[in-house]
Amino acid sequence: MNRTRRLLSVVAGLVVASLTLSACGVLWDAKTASTPRASLAPNLDAVPEGFDDFYAQALDWRECDGVDDGTYDCTEVTAPLDWTDPEGGEIELAVIRRQADSGDPAGSLLTNPGGPGASGFDLIAHSALFAVGEELAAAYDVVGFDPRGVGRSTAVTCLDPEAMDAYLYGIPEHPRGTPEWEQELTESNRVFAEACEAESGGILPFITTDNAARDLDLLRAVLGDATLTYLGYSYGTFLGATYAKLFPDRAGRLVLDGAVDPSISGTEMGMVQA
């Protein structure tokens, strides 16, 4: 696979999320006042060597709103850009929490809606009860986050809105299926991939599922949980399975809904779904 196609495989899943976030904006309408609540002390068992400061960070929760009558608060978590180098830079992960309705949470339930590239922050802000149901919302603090490269977190940036519209919705000049049509699409994809690389501040090589799973472990720890409780949909099942592979001793209750076959590539999956 050439360099352009590798870049496309990294950024393609982020396009829909970027469009959704820019189109929807913030849709919340507060119904009740939210009261930020401090997290438990970070869980510092089995911290990866050199990453102590990341795992020990204290979270600064602030009031934010969701679409139902639950109590919501938000924060940012600082994660390493490169999980092989604690000095290799930092990114921010945007996090929203719907506090357990019981007032006595059994722990945190982290969620991912799939994609890759969908906003887990929006999933909880806009539809927490739909995503997890009332019973789990009563028992757990339900947590959503935008993965690295997405939305409110340190995000991949590609084209300006006008150019993005042209890339996604423009009609090719040449007839479908002709060599000229294929060359036109290849050139359009090259321009798109190079724009993403140029505009994203060097983060593209670090937008991987393995790194996202390590971010998930960081979130677990800074929320004060000894093991991960997790609900993932679609691509979120692949993220959850990757977490269980990397951290088998810290995988608690994982629900993987609409499982993705981890043995096939993203290109193959796209061809099957087309």
pLDDT at 165 exceeding the cut of 50: yes
- Mean pLDDT (whole number) for 108-127: 96
pLDDT tens for residues 196-241?
999 999 999 999 999 999 999 999 999 999 999 999 999 999 999 9
- 273 pLDDT band, cuts 50/70/90, is low
Question: Which element (helix H / strand E) includes 141?
Answer: strand 141-145
Architecture of domain 3-155+203-273: 3-Layer(aba) Sandwich (3.40)
CB 228 within 8 A of CB 247: yes
- Mean pLDDT (whole number) for 167-182: 95
- Report percent pLDDT > 90 for the chain: 78
**Helix residue ranges per DSSP H, 25-177:** 52-55, 120-132, 134-139, 161-169
- Mean pLDDT (whole number) for 27-55: 77
- Residue 16: the pLDDT is 41
Q: Is the pTM higher than 0.85?
A: no
- Residue 19: the pLDDT is 42
CB 108 within 8 A of CB 220: yes
Residue 270 CB neighbour total at 10 angstroms:
12
pLDDT at 27 exceeding the cut of 50: no
